[in-house]
Amino acid sequence: MLTEAIADTAVRVLETTGYAGAVALMALESMVVPVPSEAVMPFVGFQVVDGHWHWAAALAFCSLGSGIGSLLSYAIGYHGGKPLVLRYGRYLLLNPRDLEETERFFRHSRGFWTIFIARFVPVVRHLISLPAGAGLMPLPPFVLATLSGATLWNGFLLYCGMKLRERWELVLQYSQQLDIVMVALMLLAAAWYVRRRLGRNASA
C-alpha cells in the first residue's frame, strides 16, 4: 500500500540522515507532498527507544521541519495567491471577492484556531498554509498556531512509536483508516463547494 511504501522510504532516510532527514521529511509533510507524519514520527519514536536519538531533540527537530514546510507553503500563498486567483480563479470557481473573504477570515482570531486544529487533520494539514498565506494572515499568530499544533501532534505520534516499538504496523493500520475517512470527507466537501459555487454564479 502507498502508506507502507512511504513508511519504508522514511525508515531508510531516517537511518541514514539522522535529525537532518527528520527535518526534511517533516518539512515535506507540511507542504503539498504525500509524506504523512504517521509514517515518519512513529519511527522517530523507535530511534528514541533504541537509544539512537534523544526524545526532546527528536521532537524539536521534527517540529522545526513542520514549521519550515509550513512557512514555505505560507510564502507561496502570500506571494502567489492573489495573482493566481486573478489569472486562473475562474477555472476554480474563484473570484477576487473570495480572496477578500479569505483575507478577512485569516486576519480574525478564527484563523489562529483554524491553523491549530488543522495540524491534527490528515490531508488538511498539508494544504492549510497556502490559504493562510493567500489570506495574508499575520505571521506571528500563524507561526505560533503552526508550531503549537505540530508539536502536540508530533509528540503524540512520537509517544505512539515509543510505546508500540514492536507493533508499528498497528500505527499505520489505524492511520490508513483515518486517512481514508478524511479523504472521503474532503471529497464530499469539494463536491458541496462546487455545487454551492455553481449555484451562486447562476443566481448572480
Looking at residue 118, its pLDDT comes to 84
Cell numbers describing residue 114: 483554524
Full-model pTM: 0.71
Closest Cα partner for 176 from 39, 8, 40, 41?
39
37 confidence band (pLDDT: 50, 70, 90): confident
**DSSP class of residue 167?**
-
**From CA 45, how far away is CA 97, in angstroms rounded?**
46
**From CA 60, how far away is CA 137, in angstroms rounded?**
25
Residue type, 131: P
DSSP-derived secondary structure for 110-130: HHHHHHHHHTTSTTHHHHTHH
**From CA 62, how far away is CA 67, in angstroms rounded?**
9
pLDDT digits (tens, 9 = 90+) for 47-56: 898 888 999 9
pLDDT digits (tens, 9 = 90+) for 166-178: 676 665 666 666 5
**From CA 91, how far away is CA 30, in angstroms rounded?**
26
